[in-house]
Amino acid sequence: MNRFLVNVLSLTLLALPASSEGGILYHIQAVPTLPGGTQNFALDINNRGQVTGNSRKSGGTTLHPYVWRIGDATPTEIGLLPGVPTFGRGFAVNDLGVVVGESGNGPSKPFRYQNGVLTDLGSLPGGSGGFAADINNAGRIVGSASNGQSVRAFYTDGDGVLHDLGTPLGTTNSFARAWAVNQAGVIAGVARNASNTASEATLWTIDEYGNPTAMTIGSPRPGAFSQFVGLNDMGMAVGNYTDERNRTRAFAYDGTSVFDLGLLASEPTFVHARAQDVNNNGLIVGYVARLDTAPSFGGAAVLWKKGKIYDLNTLIDPATGWRLFSAEGINDRGQIVGFGSFNGQTRAFVMTAVPEPSSVVLLATGVLGFWACRRLRAVRA
């Protein structure tokens, strides 16, 4: 075998850390801030390694949306829509690099961004404001907007019109939000149920004529508030619900049943949990926390894998100096984005899985076999 390949494989094996309890280890890197900024957040990552979220920039105290590709020196600032100069964030980026999100936060406006062009998506008839939460590769955008009576879930397929998704209750003043859409166009979120007793996790399907049908799925605690915030192409949805002690709990729906995702036994005071995203391999990310919506004040980014929960802080090298608060997105390569504390600042991160030593051994065995066969063929020739 070539001596260079032997050296490379030997160094690769030595560089790998010992296997963790979960069998997964990650390299972590900070997402660069906008120029001059000190803080940022990451909310989504696509399968091409493009990340979106929001960041502070030089001389500013507000957060601005950005898109960034792993390996680039700086992110691209998306900008803000006219009339809402105070805040913005990118919620999602599809595999074509199209970003959707919101400008402003009182009220906000939904936007679409592609190739330097920022577009105001408008609102539902009779209303104003809203935000765009997700986009699939076909360009279907989903989110929430006002219809003048209530907050409603919407979708748009690029025709310049927001379409009201309706609710199981069926009234024009019943509440709904859409948070996720998969490649088949199925939409996940929350809506008022048909009995008008609670707002519950809901799925919408769209027929060939563009007409939506809403179906209440619910949660492990029927009749309690619940919502889906993530959805994969296999129809697995994840989100959160309120338990009998008024705690927020993470749960998943596998197309047949709903089930609680559990908490970290190592952190008994972290009694709240939220699942934020799920990939096509069924890996779920989110956080557990002492206070429901404030993981920065006592919380941990987590991964749920095959029925088990892992603190992501235990799957990185502690010498990096990170404390990971929330995992917000995961792509099909298993790369995770979110935010935590780094050098005393709130910073966005990207985590990339490191192959287990056994995987590298198999790789080395394969390379050795290839070179052995090659040498054998050379001798026979």
Q: Which of 370, 374, 367 is nearest to 9 (CA)?
A: 367
The residues with which 90 forms a beta bridge, in sequence order, are 101
Phi, psi angles (nearest 5°) of residue 314: -90, -5
Q: Which helix (H) or strand (E) holds 357?
A: helix 357-380
Range of the domain at 288: 3-380
Cis check: omega of the bond before 355, within 30 degrees of 0: no
**Buried-state track 18-53, b at ≥16 Cβ within 10 A, e below 16:** eeeebebbbebebbbbbeebebbbbbbbbeebbbbb
Q: In total, how many domains does the chain have?
A: 1
Burial class (CB in 10 A: 0-12, 13-18, 19+), 237: buried
Q: Encoding tokens for residue 151?
A: 């907050």
Q: What is the pLDDT along the chain (381 residues), one digit of tens a residue?
A: 444 333 433 333 333 333 454 446 999 999 999 999 999 999 999 999 999 999 999 987 899 999 999 999 999 999 999 988 889 999 999 999 999 999 998 789 999 999 999 999 999 999 988 999 999 999 999 999 999 999 999 999 988 999 999 999 999 999 999 999 999 999 999 999 999 999 999 999 999 999 999 999 999 999 999 999 999 999 999 999 999 999 999 999 999 999 999 999 999 999 999 999 999 999 999 999 999 999 999 999 999 999 999 999 999 999 999 999 999 999 999 999 999 999 999 999 999 999 854 444 334 444 334 343 433 343 334
Q: Which helix (H) or strand (E) holds 376?
A: helix 357-380
Using one digit for the tens of pLDDT, what is the confidence trace for 19-37?
A: 454 446 999 999 999 999 9
Task: Tell me the CATH number at 125.
Answer: 2.130.10.150
The DSSP-derived string for 80-149 is --TT-TT-EEEEEE-TT--EEEEE-SSS-EEEEEETTEEEE----TT---EEEEEE-TT--EEEEEE-SS
Tell me the pTM.
0.88
Residue-level pLDDT at 70:
98
Residue-level pLDDT at 24:
62
Using one digit for the tens of pLDDT, what is the confidence trace for 204-233?
A: 999 999 999 999 999 999 999 999 999 999
Q: Which of 121, 130, 125 is nearest to 151 (CA)?
A: 130
- DSSP one-letter code for 215: E
Distance CA(348)–CA(32), nearest Å, equals 8
Residue-level pLDDT at 4:
38
